[in-house]
Structures are given as structure tokens and as C-alpha cells.
Amino acid sequence: MELPPLRRLEHPDIAEILVYPDITAAAQAAADRIAGLVREKPAAVITYATGQTMIPVYAALARIVAAGQADFRRTTAFHLDERYPCPETNPVSFAGYIRERVLIPFGIPATQAYLLNGAAADPAAEASRYNGLIARFDVDLTIVGFGPLPGVHIGFNEQGTPFDAETHYTELAAETKERDRNRGEEVINGAITLGPRTIFASRKIIGIAYGADKGDGLAKALYGPVSPAVVASGLRQPGVGEKTTIIIDEPAAGKLKTGNL
């Protein structure tokens, strides 16, 4: 059962924008939605975002799984991105995050989990390996968070990444490194990320954001031009927006009220 939203925001390109009162409710609703998809399709292929936004979502999902209300054991897991160079043992590794917060608590077998190797000798070769792997699957759901302005990345697709780019190595944008520094995290200059093409090809996309700062970024993505200058704006493309659900809290929604930036 999914928590009913406080309200829905209408948008010409995006199927659903659901507003919840706070982070806890938004995260629970996102978890309920993801669990519902797995109940409908027990062998679902899911690409997971990482980052702070997803911590309460995956914690809520872990509770759903522990309560026996969803079974992820037949699902297949990919993730959006990994820092580079960054072995899984580094506390800022996203592969480590996925193992700890997704694979183990959800009971997804290692044979159905495809993790990026941030310690690979050649990041371009690792990107190509991962691209080839995910290309063999039809991804049912991709979960995305949103990066800082001005690029509003999804995955680590930084400002200017073409919408048809595939998995690639990238240097991180200055604002992304600034964000990490402000969070007191080790700043790593590069990353390997799924490209927008793969993200947008997913059967369903769920984007999640909390807080006024993320609301500012989402406002640009939702009401500004559709352009790689604001990567998340690509979610509004024909064929993509129709399968996209955005789940936000009230402070983020407060930035989306006018709709005419």
C-alpha cells in the first residue's frame, strides 16, 4: 500500500509529481512504489541511485523486505554510478553503499548484482564492460536523485553530457566536488556513470528529491529549456516524461509552485 500524497503537481511532460509533507513520508512512498513494482514483477531489473537522498528510501524498503511484504530475491540490480578511482573499501564507494544498503538487506544474490569496479585499471574499459552488461537487460526501473545546480546531474552525468551518451568515465563538475567537500566527504575527481541514454531507456523512472535546494534544481529542470545544460531536464523528453514519477517533499515542492521560471 502506498501512502497517499499531500498533493500532485501537474506538469505537461512528466507523468506524476507527488508531494509529501516531509522526507520520511516521501521516502516511505518511494519505497512503497518500488516494492509494488517488485510484487508485480518478481524478476524486475532495477538500477539503483546512491547518495544521501536514497538512504531513507532503502531503509524503508529494508523494513518492507524484513516484514515479508516484498521479495527481492529474484530481482537483478545495477547501480547508476561509481566514483573513480575508488575501491569498494573506501567509505565513499557507491558499490560498497549498494552492497550494504541494497544487496544485503534486500537479499539480492551476488550472482544477480552487477557492481561497477572503481578500482579498475582503465576506467574507460570498465565503463565499456558495464555498458555491455546492462545492454543485455531490459531495465524495469531506474531510481535517480538530482545533483546540484547548475548541471542538476542524474547519475554522474554532469552539465553538457549529451542525452544519447552511454556509460562513460567523467571528471566531476566543480559544484559536485564542492558538495562533497561541504559534506565532509573525501573528494574524488572522477566517476564512471551510466549515460542518459541508458537511464532514459528504462521502462519506469522514479526521481526523488528533498529540500529547498533540490527544489531549485528541479525547478530549472522542470520549467527551463530541455537541454544537456541541465541534465535532469532530459526526463521531460517525449517518451521519457510519460514513464517518469517524481517524488518530493514539501520544501522542494515550494520551489515548483509558479511554474514559470
Residue in the structure block whose three cell numbers are 516524461 = 241
- Residues, the chain: 261
Burial class (CB in 10 A: 0-12, 13-18, 19+), 26: buried
Residues in region 74-113 near ligand GLP by CB under 6 A? 80-81
Residue 31 binding ligand GLP, by CB under 6 A: no
- Residue 135 Cβ vs ligand GLP, minimum distance, rounded to whole Å: 20
Q: What's the closest the beta carbon of residue 67 comes to ligand GLP, in angstroms?
A: 25
Q: Which of 26, 49, 95, 232 binds ligand GLP (CB under 6 A)?
A: 49
Contacts of 71 (CB under 8 A, 6+ apart): 38, 42, 65, 107
Based on the shown chain and the rule CB under 6 A, indicate whether residue 53 belongs to the binding site for ligand GLP.
Answer: yes
Cis peptide bond upstream of 5, omega within 30: no
Q: Does 52 bind ligand GLP (CB under 6 A)?
A: yes
The C-alpha atoms of residue 143 and residue 110 are separated, in whole angstroms, by 20
Torsion, Cα of 50, 52, 56, 62 (10° steps): 30
Sign of the dihedral defined by the CA atoms of residues 66, 69, 74, 80, in that order: negative
Cell of 25: 513520508
50 in contact with ligand GLP (CB under 6 A): yes
Stretch that binds ligand GLP, among 70-78, 96-104, 127-135, 138-146 (CB under 6 A): 138-146
| Least separation in angstroms between CB 3 and ligand GLP | 20
Among the residue ranges 6-14, 84-92, 119-127, 143-151, the one whose residues contact ligand GLP (CB under 6 A):
143-151
* Smallest separation, CB 143 to ligand GLP (Å): 8
Between 74 and 160, name the residue whose CB sits nearer to ligand GLP: 160
> Footprint of ligand GLP on this chain (CB under 6 A)?
49-53, 80-81, 144-147, 155-156
